[in-house]
A and B are shown apart, each in its own frame.
Chain A
Amino acid sequence: MINIYIILTVSTNLLVGMTNLLSLGQAAFYGIGAYLAVFALMILKLPLLPTLVLVMAGTGLLSLIIAYPSLRLKGDYFVLATLGFQLIIFTILYNWISVTRGPYGIPGIPAPKLAGVLQISGIIPFLILSLLLVLFVIFIFYKLVHSPFGRVLKGVRDDEIAVLSLGRNVTAFRVWAFVISSAFIGIAGMIYATYVSYIDPTSFDLNEAIFILAAVLIGGTGNIKGPVVGAVFVVVLPELLRFVGFPDSIAANLRQIVYGLSLIVLMYYRPQGIAGEYRLQ
């Protein structure tokens, strides 16, 4: 699970931390990635790598269609547009029963096959696979952030008028950031679908979108280690709180409260996140 969230947060960081675009639609791309993976694995019966390519291309392409109209909007209106998109995708996944089986979900998703023969099933091979994918995603994003492309994105984040006045097409860079972020979030969806082997739309709802965003902001934006720390934090903290000996009857609720309180305290004392270098405006 940590690995899935690291991919989600590192990809989201490209939008939030690097380009200053707050998106509430990330869970939608997560879901689209998961459903596309199921389609590729169960109906097309593709092995792992073609599935990966298909998932990334599919989510990327869809995000491109979304990017153009929504990126014309500024600031808060962009956030609302992504919120609308999130709700639309969720409704489609939930109600288009003949394709997605809606609220019944899709059970029995097969384990992906590597090179057509090697089944990846069981905890350890899966951990290795997801770790490899995480390292791949982190490597790509590290390179992106430190490339001239990443520099322009940082410029867009700091001052888009200045970037325009230096002869760069700000909208094009925003679209790129949006598409790349979405395509990589699709990978997280694929891992999730094959790992849990059952998906239904409630895993990709607005709560999930807010959760992803919270993880990014908690960890900190603007660099790679921030989102990684954030993902570890939001996944591990609730688990750790299990070991604190709360009385059984109120344990679940108390855990939620402690979790919420720790978020508030954290945001109060470290608004740029645990390991972030940039504070969202």
Chain B
Amino acid sequence: MRLLMNDIILEIDSIKKSFVRNIVNIRGEQEDERFNIIDDLDLLIPQGKITALIGGNGAGKTTLFNIISNFTDADSGDVLYKKNGSSVSILGLPPFKITRMGIGRMFQDDHIFPNMSVLENMLLADDNKFAETPFTSFLKPRQNEIVEKERIEKARQIFINLFQDPNPFWEKRNDPAKSLSYGQQRLLGLARLFMANYKLVLLDEPTAGVNSQIIKQAMAIIRRMVKENNVTVFLIEHNMNVVLELADFCSFMSHGRITAFGTPEDVIGNDKVRRTYLGV
């Protein structure tokens, strides 16, 4: 399958990243070894589609996500993001600026705010940052009130849209987020992404460790993200059923490189992938 260049939202261009790790060599001595976690990796992410990234543990999938959102520095290479028709390099920008360009991120370990209420978790994710400077709420109390009401209404709409009405999230909106079940916390992490107008979201194992009911809900939410808001999704996933059902494209990562790319059926059916990753 061929992709036209103007359908690409993210272009990952010869990214390299190495760590120094301490190993014990054959003679039983301690030795520092340079280890390429990402080794000259190229990947194109198609616009408006769901692209899955699969691969074994330690293949460098999360590291790649961290390089895109710059929580980790790359050694060399470039990441180009297409915004309003022109490509800009986002490599090395501070993480909060990358987010402001429209790239959202959901982490493997949630990163919701456990001691804040469910509603506050949503409000803090709003892309309208009005009154987040210290004294704006003093100087413009009326406008602040209006914006806060809008934010709360936006959160309520998202909850009702994604889950049915009445839904547990809106009912528990004033409870601390840590009181939600693990599965609900993951769904909250997904719902939070709807508060901002993202063009691309990176999802790191959205269905890890949750039951089949939550997996279904999570998949439905991701589909709606793409369909209704025209978001591009790039997700790391270990559950092959989810990849087969959800993804338009699938890339297989091994030893720091993308070694297979195509439709999920092709990639998962690929002999090499089956041998090295799935073990069948």
* Distance, CA A147 to CA B139, complexed state (A): 12
Majority DSSP secondary structure for residues of A touching B: helix
Which residue from B69, B116, B133 sits with its C-beta under 8 Å from A158? B116
Which of A39-47, A104-112, A127-135, A159-167 touches B?
A159-167
A151 with B133, Cβ < 8 A, contacts A158-B116, A159-B113 known: no
Closest partner residue, chain A, to B133 (CB atom): A149
Given contacts A155-B113, A166-B99, contact A148 B148 (CB under 8 A): yes
- A163 and B124: CB pair below 8 A? yes
Q: How far is the CA of A142 from the CA of B217 in the complex (A)?
A: 39
Give B90-105 as 1s and 0s: 1 = Cβ < 8 Å from A's Cβ atoms.
0000111101100011
Give per-residue flags for A171-199: 1 if the beta carbon is below 8 A from chain B beta carbons, else 0. 00000100010000000000000000000
The closest CB in chain B to the CB of A152 belongs to: B132
A157 partner residues in chain B, CB cutoff 8 A: 115
Q: Which of B71-95 contact A (CB under 8 A)?
A: 71, 94-95
A152 proximity list for chain B (CB < 8 A): 124, 132
**CB distance B116 to A143 under 8 Å?**
no
Number of interface residues of B (CB under 8 A): 36
Contact, CB under 8 Å: A167 / B99:
yes
In the complex formed, the residue of A with least CB distance to B192 is A166
A168 touches B129 (CB 8 A): yes
Instruction: Please give, as numbers and ranges, the residues of chain B lying within 8 Å of A164 by CB-CB distance.
Output: 71, 94-96, 99
B107 adjacent to A168 (CB under 8 Å): no
Determine the chain B residues whose CB is within 8 A of the CB of A168 once the complex forms: 96, 129, 132
Any A CB within 8 A of the CB of B44: no
Q: Which residues of A contact B137 (CB under 8 A)?
A: 143, 147-149
A121 at the interface (CB under 8 A from B): no
Q: Does A35 contact B (CB under 8 A)?
A: no
Say how far A58's CB is from chain B's closest CB, in angstroms: 18
The one of B71, B120, B136, B147 that contacts A161, using a Cβ cutoff of 8 Å: B71
Q: Which residues of B contact A207 (CB under 8 A)?
A: none
Annotate B33-47 by CB proximity to A: 1 below 8 A, 0 otherwise: 000000000000000
Given contacts A149-B137, A166-B125, A167-B99, contact A278 B115 (CB under 8 A): yes
Minimum CB–CB distance for B5 against chain A, Å: 28
Name B's A-contacting residues (CB within 8 A): 69, 71, 94-97, 99-100, 104-105, 107, 111-116, 120, 123-125, 127, 129-134, 136-138, 144, 147-148, 192, 196
Known contacts A151-B116, A158-B113, A168-B96, then 4 further A-B pairs from the complex at CB < 8 Å, ordered by chain A residue: A149-B133, A151-B123, A157-B115, A162-B113
Q: List 27 A-B contacts (CB under 8 A).
A: A147-B131, A147-B134, A147-B136, A147-B144, A148-B123, A148-B137, A151-B116, A152-B132, A154-B115, A154-B116, A154-B120, A155-B113, A157-B115, A158-B113, A158-B116, A162-B107, A162-B112, A164-B94, A164-B99, A165-B107, A165-B111, A167-B96, A167-B99, A167-B127, A167-B196, A169-B94, A278-B115
